[in-house]
């Protein structure tokens, strides 16, 4: 930012006064020389008049310079200070008698005094004003930024008599400007460049690469499992983790490279002058290895891993925006492949990303238009063979692509947050059918899968509507069951516990879906007062192989019953599986042996005709 100080009337008045003052001094010198030829009495009288006039003019000059709030000094042509004001003295930390009659070399350190002298000589030589910002270092080591206007003053015959300086101390303003610039361009937590500065650096490196005919590598790094550390150990520890991660990533790069923080737990590395693609791979491998090492976080040790996406300019993209998108797509491939690894961007990823974005837009439109419908998969009581329960399953018939499988669109809905709206519709639609079927078959239940996203704070209004629906409806209590994954319980917090408690208080039962696929703990079933446990179909499918899964299923069923929890076996497809589960005491079963998912009207017809056995 350039100087914003401009000459004003004070400087003009000062220059005029200085010129008048020194012109008068010159005239008085001539008078004194002439007076030497006369007698001493006349000389004494003349001297007294000159002294009075000089004192009066000096008083006017002193009054003006003292009243000026800016820094002000007057120098003779030989660089000696003739006049200065209090502001100038305070800035130097000197008294007037330590400045007047001295040169800049007496009041500033050597190199700084040489620089000031050079500038002032240029002003005197050019006979023109000079305005500039200048950092000076005082004799006490303090650095100050001055905005100085220096101008020569002249005698009536045009002779240069000296130099006038007026300015202001803008150190605080410069520091404030620097702070604002830093806050706008650098991450306050890690000190790394932020997204804005990253774009500037990346654009610069692209231009450099074009001139040097080389490549630029971009690595997008996402910390795996950092959210768990943040949730369990607190935000302060989470911040410490990010700071240490930033240090480790930076240690794996060259001085010419750029390491930036995009936000959250995502970092970017820009590799300059990349002539060998293997260098990007080597850097990514180093970063992954360093981040996999233990983190000492206050009184505990934490572990994370890293998923890294690699992309290059100009091979994969032609501008900053597309480079970042490409790196992001490659990073998500690394995550899907198991994390703690890197993945290169490919054109097939680009095609898949475009298709995914189109599908997300279609999903958003389908939710707004109510283009979904439900199917229900019957759940059979093992003891009676009757259908006493059904699981609601959402279906989407795309106008162009036809039926889209839930495993394709549900993850998209979760990533975009659309699952809150979609899940809310599923719950209320399932509740409508549950109310109808509870009137047909006493105790009939409908279960609804609930995503962990729907337990976040922003979905509180949606959950409140579920509770209101359950309490205000005509259906008996416990007609509705929500199915949650065991991962939600294992990594839960007080808010989730509170949500589950409020749902159960409204008469909604809780089931653990896909039990056995995560870090299973039957103790959690007791802690959360779970009503139903669903054995994952992977265990059921192995029952036909005469392995240890039979004993495992039996153990799960026995332990669950000890805790008062009923058990449903998922994915039952053969009679042998059904017989083994019945022998193990399983309460209910669900799978193609019983029925595929069917439209609600078809299930209702079965229930009405009483043919609800398998």
43, pLDDT greater than 70: no
Percent residues over pLDDT 70 in the chain? 83
What is the reported pLDDT for 136?
83
Percent residues over pLDDT 90 in the chain? 41
**Band of the pLDDT at 46, cuts 50, 70, 90?**
low
Q: Label each residue of 101-158 as H, E or C.
A: CCCHHHCCCHHHHHHHHHHHHHHHHHCCCEEEEEEEECCCCCEEEEEEEEEEEECCCC
Q: How far apart are CA 460 and CA 458, in angstroms?
A: 6
| Higher pLDDT pick, 588 / 473 | 588
260, pLDDT greater than 80: yes
What is the reported pLDDT for 2?
42
What is the reported pLDDT for 1?
41
Q: What is the pTM of this model?
A: 0.55
DSSP 81: E
**Band of the pLDDT at 159, cuts 50, 70, 90?**
confident
497, pLDDT greater than 70: yes
Calculate mean pLDDT across residues 380-402.
93
Calculate mean pLDDT across residues 19-40.
62
Q: How far apart are CA 290 and CA 286, in angstroms?
A: 6
Kind plus residue range of the DSSP H or E element containing 244:
helix 235-251
Calculate mean pLDDT across residues 255-283.
90
5, pLDDT greater than 50: no
Choose the weakest-confidence range: 16-25, 155-164, 406-415. 16-25
493, pLDDT greater than 60: no
The per-type count for the chain, helices as H runs and strands as E runs, is: 21, 21
Distance of CA 269 to the CA centre of its chain: 15
CATH class, domain 188-345, is alpha beta
206, pLDDT greater than 70: yes
37, pLDDT greater than 70: no
Contact 238, 226 (CB under 8 A): yes
Sequence-separated (6 or more) residues with CB below 8 Å from residue 345: 309, 310, 311, 312, 316, 326, 327, 329, 330
What is the reported pLDDT for 7?
45
Structure tokens at 200: 């500037």
What is the reported pLDDT for 249?
96
Could you confirm whether domain 9-175 is CATH 3.30.450.20? yes
CATH superfamily of 381-608: EAL domain (3.20.20.450)
Calculate mean pLDDT across residues 149-164.
88
Distance of CA 409 to the CA centre of its chain: 27
**Average pLDDT of every residue of the chain:** 84
| Higher pLDDT pick, 535 / 29 | 535
Q: How many CA atoms lie within 13 A of 71 on its CB side?
A: 19
Q: How far apart are CA 425 and CA 447, in angstroms?
A: 14
What is the reported pLDDT for 13?
58
54, pLDDT greater than 90: no
Structure tokens at 86: 């209090």
| Higher pLDDT pick, 394 / 299 | 394
Q: Which of 417, 414, 412, 409 is nearest to 393 (CA)?
A: 409
Choose the weakest-confidence range: 77-91, 506-520, 530-544, 588-602. 506-520
Residue ranges of domains in the chain: 9-175, 188-345, 381-608
What is the reported pLDDT for 541?
86
What is the reported pLDDT for 526?
65
């Amino acid at each position: 930012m350039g100087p914003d100080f401009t000459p004003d009337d004070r400087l003009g008045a000062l220059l005029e006064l200085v010129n008048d003052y020194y012109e008068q001094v010159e005239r008085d010198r001539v008078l004194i020389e002439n007076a030497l030829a006369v007698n001493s009495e006349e000389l004494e009288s003349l001297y007294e008049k000159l002294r009075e006039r000089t004192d009066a003019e000096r008083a006017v000059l002193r009054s003006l310079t003292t009243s000026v709030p800016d820094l002000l000094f007057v120098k003779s042509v030989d660089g000696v200070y003739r006049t200065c004001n209090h502001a100038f003295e305070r800035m130097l930390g000197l008294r007037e008698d330590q400045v007047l009659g001295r040169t800049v070399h007496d009041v500033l350190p050597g190199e700084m005094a040489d620089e000031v002298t050079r500038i002032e000589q240029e002003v005197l030589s050019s006979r023109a004003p000079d305005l500039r910002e200048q950092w000076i270092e005082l004799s006490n080591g303090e650095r100050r930024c001055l905005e100085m206007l220096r101008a020569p003053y002249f005698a009536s015959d045009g002779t240069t008599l000296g130099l006038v300086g007026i300015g202001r101390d803008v150190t605080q303003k410069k520091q404030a400007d620097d702070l604002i610039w830093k806050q706008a361009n650098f991450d306050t937590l890690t000190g790394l460049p932020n997204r804005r500065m990253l774009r500037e650096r990346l654009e610069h490196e692209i231009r450099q690469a074009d001139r040097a005919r080389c490549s630029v590598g971009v690595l997008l790094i996402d910390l795996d499992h950092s959210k768990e550390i943040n949730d369990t150990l607190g935000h302060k520890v989470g911040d410490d983790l990010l700071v240490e991660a930033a240090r480790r990533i930076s240690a794996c790069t060259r001085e010419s490279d750029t390491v930036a923080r995009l936000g959250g737990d995502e970092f970017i590395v820009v590799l300059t002058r990349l002539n060998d693609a293997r260098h990007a791979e080597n850097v990514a491998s180093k970063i992954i290895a360093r981040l996999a090492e233990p983190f000492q976080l206050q009184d505990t040790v934490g572990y994370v891993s890293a998923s890294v996406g690699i992309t290059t300019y100009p091979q994969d993209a032609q501008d900053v925006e597309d480079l970042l998108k490409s790196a992001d797509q490659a990073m998500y491939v690394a995550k899907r492949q198991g994390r703690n690894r890197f993945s290169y961007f490919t054109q097939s990823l680009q095609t898949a990303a475009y298709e995914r974005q189109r599908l997300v837009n279609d999903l958003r439109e389908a939710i707004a238009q109510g283009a979904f419908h439900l199917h229900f998969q019957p759940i059979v009581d093992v003891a009676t063979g009757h259908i006493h329960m059904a699981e609601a399953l959402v279906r989407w018939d795309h106008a162009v692509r036809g039926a889209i499988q839930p495993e394709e669109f549900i993850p998209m809905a979760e990533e975009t947050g659309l699952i809150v709206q979609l899940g809310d519709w599923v719950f209320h639609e399932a509740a409508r059918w549950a109310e109808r079927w509870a009137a047909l078959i006493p105790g009939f239940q409908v279960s609804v899968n609930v995503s962990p996203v729907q337990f976040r704070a922003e979905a509180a209004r949606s959950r409140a509507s579920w509770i209101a629906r359950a309490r205000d409806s005509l259906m008996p209590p416990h007609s509705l069951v929500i199915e949650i994954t065991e991962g939600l319980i294992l990594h839960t917090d007080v808010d989730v516990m509170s949500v589950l408690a409020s749902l159960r208080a409204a008469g909604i039962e809780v089931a653990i879906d896909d039990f056995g696929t995560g870090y299973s703990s039957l103790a959690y079933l007791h802690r959360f007062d779970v009503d139903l446990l669903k054995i994952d179909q992977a265990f059921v499918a192995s029952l036909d192989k005469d392995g240890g899964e039979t004993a495992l299923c039996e153990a799960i069923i026995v332990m669950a019953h000890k805790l008062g929890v009923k058990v449903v076996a998922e994915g039952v497809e053969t009679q042998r599986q059904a017989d083994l589960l019945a022998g193990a005491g399983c309460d209910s079963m669900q799978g193609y042996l019983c029925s595929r998912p069917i439209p609600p009207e078809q299930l209702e017809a079965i229930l009405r005709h009483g043919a609800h056995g398998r």
